[in-house]
Amino acid sequence: MSSPVLSVRGLSKSFGALVVAQNIELDLMAGARVGLIGPNGAGKTTFVNLLTGFLRPDAGTIQLDGIAIEGMRPEDRVHRGLARTHQINTLLVEESARDNVAITIAEREKFAWRAIRYSPQWQQCLDEAQARLDEIGIGDVGDRQVRHLPYGKQRLLEIAIALALKPRVLLLDEPAAGVPSSETHVFHKVLDRLPAEIAILIIEHDMDVIFRFAKEIVVLVQGRVLTRGEPAQIAVDPQVRAVYLGRTVV
């Protein structure tokens, strides 16, 4: 029962002389809520790219449900249950919000090779897409072209798309970055309601979000894990305060 869904061992990567990941270890259990923090350039996004397969590690293993995935292509990892959100919007801006989700569902269900016409399955994709938009509270703008959506709703759509993949592990890369503070309570609610069984790794600059949401925090500095522990511990850890919290006043 206690075997982790995602297990990272000795993950290392460098670009020439620049070490961006050094011997990183991480276990995510089902239902985990782990926060990943660290100063700018600590290698957080690199770590996400290594996990999702957009970068190849120099050394180390990544296991998803006990299967080695470090050699797999990004799209195969997704089909095995590893999803992510993007720090910068990479939504399909010419499409409607609903179509963004429906296209995702079609990939998940492997309908997307159907090249003859819209089949009844496509209608299922659209229906499920609408349901998922409703769930996250943006069902009313399903018809709107994404480029015309307010920024906060685009960020929510980003999460809806990741959830539509029915992931076992979800990597949230600064989900609330750039969202006006008047809307952060919406995000808190969405994050609180994420399906309990999904293992989640969240990267955030906003300490409020991290300390509210995460049960465990990993601190990354210069590609290495500096320390890890419960939020209360981390908040008072002098090492962490020195390299990180000291500079961005909480």
Partner 1 sequence: MTNPSETQKAGGGLLAGMSPWALAGHALPWAIAIGFFFIAEGYLSFGTQIIIWILFALSLDLALGYAGIVTLGQAAFFGFGAYAAGWFSIHVSPDPILGHLFAIGLTAIVGLISGALILHTTGVTFLMLTLATVLIMFEYANQAKEITGGDDGLQGMKVGPIFGKYEFNLFGHTAYVYSLIVLFIWFVIMWRVVKSPFGRSLDGIRQNARRMRAIGTPVWWRLLAVYTLSAAMAGSAGALSAHATRFVGLSVLSLLTSGIVTVMLILGGTRRLYGAFVGAIVYFVVQDYTAKISPYFWEFIVGGMLIATVLFLEGGLMDLGGIARRQWERLTGKASKP
Whose Cβ is closer to partner 1: residue 127's or residue 230's?
A: 127
Minimum separation from the CB atom of position 198 to partner 1 (A): 16
Distance CA 37, CA 245 (A): 10
Q: How far is the CB of 103 from partner 1 (least distance, A)?
A: 5
Q: Which is nearer to partner 1, 61 or 87 (CB)?
A: 87
Whole-angstrom distance, CA of residue 57 vs CA of residue 134: 38
Which of 25, 75, 134, 135 touches partner 1 by CB under 8 A? Answer: 75
Near partner 1 by CB under 8 A: residue from 74, 139, 150, 229: 74
If binding means CB under 8 A, how many residues of this protein chain bind partner 1?
47
Judged by beta carbon, residue 83 or residue 234, the one nearer partner 1 is 83
In the complex with partner 1, the residue whose CB is nearer, 87 or 227, is 87
- Closer CB to partner 1, 76 or 230, in the complex: 76
SS3 string, the chain, reads CCCCCEEEEEEEEEECCEEEEEEEEEEECCCCEEEEECCCCCCHHHHHHHHHCCCCCCEEEEEECCEECCCCCHHHHHHCCEEECCCCCCCCCCCEHHHHHHHHHHHHCCCCCCCCCCCHHHHHHHHHHHHHHHHHCCHHHCCCEHHHCCHHHHHHHHHHHHHHCCCCEEEEECCCCCCCHHHHHHHHHHHHCCCCCCEEEEECCCHHHHHHHCCEEEEEECCEEEEEECHHHHHHCHHHHHHHHCCCCC
Q: Which stretch binds partner 1 (CB under 8 A): 3-11, 15-23, 58-66, 113-121?
A: 113-121
Closest to partner 1 by CB, 17 vs 116, is 116
User: Contact between 125 and partner 1 (CB under 8 A)?
Assistant: yes
The interface with partner 1 within residues 83-112 (CB under 8 A) comprises 83-84, 86, 90-96, 98-99, 102-104, 106-108, 111-112
Task: List contacts with partner 1 (CB under 8 A).
Answer: 52, 54, 73-76, 78-79, 83-84, 86, 90-96, 98-99, 102-104, 106-108, 111-123, 125-126, 143-145, 148, 161, 165
